[in-house]
């Protein structure tokens, strides 16, 4: 399989490094809006080369996006129209209902898949299964250091409380997990989100609470920050790598 990667930051670097060791991946194509980032990453890999997305599309089987919501807007439909699957990390972009429906329709038209890694949280699979029946409520509580949220506070402070749609708009780089949870469960407008800035917090904490006809679900994970980007959990990179392996692996754990 040949892989295209859009975005050579912390997550893109982790995924590219893992892909470089996978025997089922024969070639990796890199693109980043910052040429220095793509050149640096390319120098670390054996299978990689740098090409614009428009050029590498004809050569790849799957595209992995780890750049930004803007990159999803710019490239996702183009990837699907080219008859390629796409893995989207900037899931917050899908709060735009018009964009999401366009991508879904384009994927159906070309019989392609849009993969959304669960990212830095656990329990998404349970929420997805529970949504088959009635879900009464789904809540995400995220706690991070103030610096990773772009805030300056001296004590534990709730910096956001509302629905997932507004959370994704206000914290586009920090709360992709809310977007994934919303799509799995009750939607952007009904999913409740609380974001907490805690100056003594050294890890990134995500807690999912859900209840409905299935019963009650409580899932909590304390993630180490990615060493290359403290705003992102290392678990997000691992989830992305696991999704890539899922694309390759004939054995699927659902």
Please say if the pLDDT value at position 253 is more than 90: no
Q: Is the per-residue pLDDT at 50 higher than 90? A: yes
Report yes or no on 253 lying in a domain.
no
CA distance 244 to 18: 10
Render the burial of 119-149: b for 16+ CB within 10 Å, e for the rest.
bbbbbbebbbebbeeebeebebbbbbbbebb
- For residues 75 and 101, state if they share a domain: yes
User: Is the pLDDT at 78 greater than 90, yes or no?
Assistant: yes
Question: Which residue reads 């998404």 in tokens?
Answer: 124
Quick check: 89 and 176 in contact, CB under 8 A?
yes
CATH number of the domain within which 32 lies: 3.40.50.720
Could you tell me the pTM of the whole model?
A: 0.93
CA-to-CA separations, 102 to 178, 213, 234, in angstroms, rounded: 21, 32, 31
Q: Which residue has the tokens 């999704």?
A: 243
The answer to whether residues 195 and 115 touch, using CB atoms and an 8 Å cutoff, is no
User: Kindly report the CA angle at 137 between 173 and 252, in degrees rounded to 5?
Assistant: 65
Q: 129 with 218, same domain?
A: yes
* pLDDT at site 185: 96
- Mind listing the pLDDT tens digit for each residue in 189-233? 999 999 999 999 989 999 999 999 999 999 999 999 888 887 778
**H or E segment at 11?**
helix 10-19
For the question of residue 206 being annotated catalytic, the response is: yes
For residues 21-38, give the mean pLDDT.
Answer: 97
Q: Based on the domain organization, do 209 and 242 belong to the same domain?
A: no
Q: How confident is the model at residue 66 (pLDDT cuts 50, 70, 90)?
A: very high
Q: Over the stretch 96-145, which tens digit does the pLDDT of each residue have?
A: 999 999 999 999 999 999 999 988 888 999 999 999 999 999 999 999 99
Statement to judge: residues 13 and 102 lie in one domain: yes
Model pLDDT for residues 147-183, shown as the tens digit of each residue:
889 899 999 999 999 999 999 999 987 888 999 999 9
Is residue 239 domain-shared with residue 197, that is, in the same domain?
A: no
Q: Are 199 and 242 in a shared domain? A: no
Q: Are 67 and 7 in contact (CB under 8 A)?
A: yes
Q: For residues 105 and 117, what is the distance between their CA atoms, to the nearest angstrom? A: 20
- Rg for the chain, CA atoms, rounded: 18
The full DSSP string for 69-109 is: HHHHHHHHHHHHHTT-EEEES-GGGGGSHHHHHHHHHHHHH
Give the span between the Cα atoms of 164 and 185, in whole angstroms: 11
Does 53 score more than 80 pLDDT?
A: yes
Report phi then psi at 223, rounded to 5.
-100, 145
Query: Strand order in 27-31's β-sheet?
Result: 48-50, 27-31, 2-6, 62-65, 85-88, 114-115
Q: What is the pLDDT of residue 214?
A: 95
Domain that holds residue 164: 124-223
The pLDDT-based confidence of 240 (bands split at 50, 70, 90) is: very high
Residues 112 and 129 in one domain: no
Q: Which of 31, 110, 206, 211 is catalytic?
A: 206
Per the domain annotation, does 11 fall within a domain? Answer: yes
Looking up residue 197, the CATH number of its domain turns out to be 3.30.360.10
């Amino acid at each position: 399989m040949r892989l295209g990667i859009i975005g050579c930051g912390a997550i893109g670097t982790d995924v590219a490094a893992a892909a470089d060791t996978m025997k089922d991946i024969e070639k990796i194509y890199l693109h980043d809006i910052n040429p220095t980032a793509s050149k640096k990453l390319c120098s670390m890999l054996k299978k990689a080369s740098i090409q614009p997305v428009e050029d590498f599309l004809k050569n790849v089987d799957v595209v992995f996006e780890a750049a930004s919501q803007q990159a999803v807007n710019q490239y996702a439909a183009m990837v699907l129209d080219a008859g390629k699957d796409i893995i989207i990390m900037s899931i917050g972009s899908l709060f735009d209902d018009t964009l999401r429906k366009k991508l879904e329709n384009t994927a159906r038209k070309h019989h392609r898949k849009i993969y959304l890694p669960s990212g830095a949280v656990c329990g998404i699979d349970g929420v997805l299964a529970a949504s088959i029946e009635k879900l009464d409520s789904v809540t995400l509580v995220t706690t991070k250091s103030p610096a990773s949220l772009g805030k300056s506070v001296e004590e534990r402070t709730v910096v956001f409380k509302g629905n997932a749609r507004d959370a994704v708009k206000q914290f586009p780089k920090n709360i992709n997990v809310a977007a994934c949870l919303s799509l799995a469960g009750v939607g952007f407008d009904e999913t409740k989100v609380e974001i907490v800035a805690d100056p003594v917090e050294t890890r990134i904490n995500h807690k999912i609470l859900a209840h409905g006809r299935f019963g009650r679900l409580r899932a909590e994970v304390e993630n180490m920050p990615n060493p290359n980007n403290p705003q992102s959990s290392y678990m997000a990179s691992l989830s992305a790598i696991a999704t890539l392996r899922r694309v390759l692996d004939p054995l699927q754990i659902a």
